[in-house]
Structure 1
Amino acid sequence: MSTPRYFPVLPAAGVGSRMQADRPKQYLPIQGRFLLDYTLDAILSYPAFEQAVLVLSADDPYWPDSEYAADERIIRAAGGRERCDSVLNGLAALQGIATEQDWVVVHDIARPCLRHSDLDALLGQLADPGAILASPTRDTMKRGVLRDGCVVIDHTVEREQLWHALTPQVFRYGALQQALTACLAQDLSVTDEASAMEQQGYQPLLVAGRSDNIKVTRREDLALAELFLSTSLSPHS
């Protein structure tokens, strides 16, 4: 049996409108480096990954200033209208490189605090149909409803079986490509790669990951990511 291969795919074509910044959030600075460069550092320093697909906007003016702009391990792909379109474009860039049975490791470019220990756990437990990093919900969860222009509590949701979906999310190259294509053809909502697989009848494995694997979405998240990155002696351990 051949050794499994892993191909990271990193969607990085978003504009990050919620950050209200002068540039996409992946190019915002953390301690003098692009956020994107921290994420690429975490991915490209992991021993199991020999190449990575980076999905960028066709007219991205910031990428040439990245520390990794000339790195030959990076395969570039053009971004799509939605995240799922960008991921599909990233998969298309692996045509002729990856086999149907190779694993695709989709990771948010805006999660720069990914640890190698989480990758070890995720890939160590990996089996068909695939797996995602996730964090068990610790807070009391409320279901809200709109009433008189305000959101009020409808009821409390049992949290024991609730998880926050994180990334990476890992699936077979062929199966993920088929699932995303089918969902788009049926006009189904695809919030992440796991949701596409779920809608095709699969039940991906949940692997507990670190809660500091945060996604930078708002301005306060940037400060939190900087704190996590600056307080670790080995940020990818």
Structure 2
Amino acid sequence: MSTDKHFLIVPASGMGSRMNAKQPKQHLKLKNGLSVLDQTLKTLLNIEQIKGCVVAITENDTAFKNSVFANHDKLLATAIGGKERLHSVISALNALRPFTKNNDWVLVHDAARPCVKASEIENLIKQLKDHPTGGLLATKVVDTIKKSHGNIVESTLDRSTLWQAQTPQMYRFFVLSKALENAVQNNLTITDEASSIEYLGLESILVEASKSNLKITTAEDLTLANFYLEQNEN
């Protein structure tokens, strides 16, 4: 039986400028009274396999200290978020380092994905438990996807090979640390953890999840997130 532990990193230092809100989107309130970040943490910290968590916040964040999760037993530390997502994750990995072994798992989950289902995260953990690298939740693309030049169609992509990446993205601690450090050293464009793994030529496993695990980017997404959360409770 594997003794590898599972830890959580939640990058929560983005400003969410596309929301046109007075505060970062992770601190916006949902209909259930929780902030987006708190709802996210509520789901993930209730998962038995997750033994500890680091939340990356901005240096001037004053909202998280008032969170009901600021003193949670599984919150090991907060880290100061960086300019880009990968800098925030690296900062959180450094804060996590005293608690982990090289082969332990790190799940990185967007603060702005509050509708993720615990059952799908548990399935991700189950599917990857013996894998040397890791993988991520994703959904198969069902729409016809066009590649464009400006607003002119260039070609139609084969959607049978396309997936839409979600989070959590789960990798071995030493693998993720090496991949992100490589991205920084080589000034690579990284939009998620999986892309840093790709640059090392390592394999990532796609684990299918539901579309309800949306990332809140616009005001419309916030409305949809409230709908999904209500459905999950019923």
TM-score category by the smaller chain?
A: over 0.9
Q: Which runs of 5+ in 1 are unaligned?
A: none
Deviations 1:32-63 (A, max 9, x none): 22111110001110111121110111110111
With 56-65 and 211-220 compared, the bigger mean Cα shift is at 56-65
**Residue 233 of structure 2 is aligned to residue 233 of structure 1:** yes
SS at match of 1:135: strand
| Corresponding position of 1:76 | 78
* 1:162 partner amino acid: L
Q: Which of 97, 100, 118 is the equivalent residue of 1:98?
A: 100
SS at match of 1:124: helix
Deviations 1:126-151 (A, max 9, x none): 012111001000101111112xxxx1
SS at match of 2:165: strand
Q: Which of 115, 118, 124 is the equivalent residue of 1:116?
A: 118
Moved over 3 A (4+): none
Task: Using the TM superposition, give the Cα deviation of residue 2 of structure 1 relative to its aligned residue in structure 2, in angstroms.
Answer: 5.0
Task: Using the TM superposition, give the Cα deviation of residue 72 of structure 1 relative to its aligned residue in structure 2, in angstroms.
Answer: 3.4
What TM-score do you get using the length of structure 2 for normalisation?
A: 0.95
Task: Using the TM superposition, give the Cα deviation of residue 221 of structure 1 relative to its aligned residue in structure 2, in angstroms.
Answer: 0.3
* Partner Cα separation in structure 1 for residue 34 and residue 123 of structure 2: 28
* Partner Cα separation in structure 1 for residue 2 and residue 197 of structure 2: 25
* Partner Cα separation in structure 2 for residue 51 and residue 95 of structure 1: 12
| Corresponding position of 2:177 | 177
**Residue 144 of structure 2 is aligned to residue 143 of structure 1:** no
SS at match of 1:194: helix
| Corresponding position of 1:57 | 58
* Partner Cα separation in structure 2 for residue 158 and residue 175 of structure 1: 31
* Partner Cα separation in structure 2 for residue 120 and residue 47 of structure 1: 9
Task: Using the TM superposition, give the Cα deviation of residue 65 of structure 1 relative to its aligned residue in structure 2, in angstroms.
Answer: 2.4
SS at match of 2:168: strand
Deviations 1:59-88 (A, max 9, x none): 101112222122232121111111000000
* 1:210 partner amino acid: S
* Partner Cα separation in structure 1 for residue 220 and residue 125 of structure 2: 31
Task: Using the TM superposition, give the Cα deviation of residue 105 of structure 1 relative to its aligned residue in structure 2, in angstroms.
Answer: 0.4
* Partner Cα separation in structure 2 for residue 60 and residue 166 of structure 1: 25
* Partner Cα separation in structure 2 for residue 99 and residue 87 of structure 1: 17
| Corresponding position of 1:35 | 36
* 2:71 partner amino acid: A
Q: Compare the two structures and name the one with the higher helix fraction.
A: 2
SS at match of 2:194: helix
Aligned-residue sequence identity (percent) comes to 38
**Residue 9 of structure 2 is aligned to residue 9 of structure 1:** yes
| Corresponding position of 1:22 | 22
| Corresponding position of 1:67 | 68
| Corresponding position of 1:168 | 168
Task: Using the TM superposition, give the Cα deviation of residue 158 of structure 1 relative to its aligned residue in structure 2, in angstroms.
Answer: 1.0
Query: RMSD value over aligned CA atoms?
Result: 1.1
What TM-score do you get using the length of structure 1 for normalisation?
A: 0.94
